[in-house]
Amino acid sequence: MTRTFLLKGRLKGVQRQKLSQLLDMHYTPSEIGEILGFGRRQFYRVYIPAGCPHKRGENERLWINGAAFREWYFQQYPKIKIGESEAYCLACKRIVTVEHPETKQTGRYRYWSFICPNCGHQMSKSISKNGGSND
């Protein structure tokens, strides 16, 4: 079983943290892009077609409320929780269920080694540290 989620438009961790810098005021796409670290074209290509709250001002200029955008973003792109028997495949960009794992150990670091059921790439997932319970 695989779970898919929206990747297009997803921000990196530092960019997500910078969303808190957006105030309850209107910004142009280039101003928000400068704060968050991406280009204004991402708004026109990804966020506006996905339903980002915005309004058109004089001369058809696009205005985006910072607080409304932040709230919309967190609803549109929720933080993904991966279960204990799941892992994220970097090759096919999906969360997959761990099937037939082989337990390996390097020093005190224990991990599972297995094959992605979708694309066949070798994957690994940490199962414990320091020889203790799962962390």
Per-residue pLDDT tens for 80-113? Answer: 888 889 998 888 888 899 999 999 999 889 999 9
pTM > 0.85: no
Q: Which pLDDT does position 131 carry in this prediction?
A: 46
- Please check whether residues 102 and 47 belong to one and the same domain: no
Domain range for residue 20? 12-76
Is 109 part of any domain? Answer: yes
Q: What residue ranges in 12-69 does DSSP mark as E strands?
A: 26-27, 55-56, 62-65
3-class SS of residue 115: strand
- Please check whether residues 33 and 65 belong to one and the same domain: yes
- Compute the distance between CA of residue 73 and CA of residue 66 in angstroms, rounded to an integer: 10
- Tally of domains within the chain: 2
Is 5 part of any domain? Answer: no
DSSP 126: E
Looking at 76, 101, 116, which one is the last position of a domain?
A: 76
Is 100 part of any domain? Answer: yes
Looking at 56, 76, 96, which one is the last position of a domain?
A: 76
Minimum mean pLDDT range among 7-16, 90-99, 122-131: 122-131
Q: Which pLDDT does position 39 carry in this prediction?
A: 92
* pLDDT, tens digit, 9 for 90 and up, residues 15-38: 999 999 999 999 999 999 999 999
Which residues have CB under 8 Å from 112's CB, separation 6+? 87, 98, 101, 102, 103, 104, 124, 125, 127
Is 133 part of any domain? Answer: no
Q: Which pLDDT does position 101 carry in this prediction?
A: 94
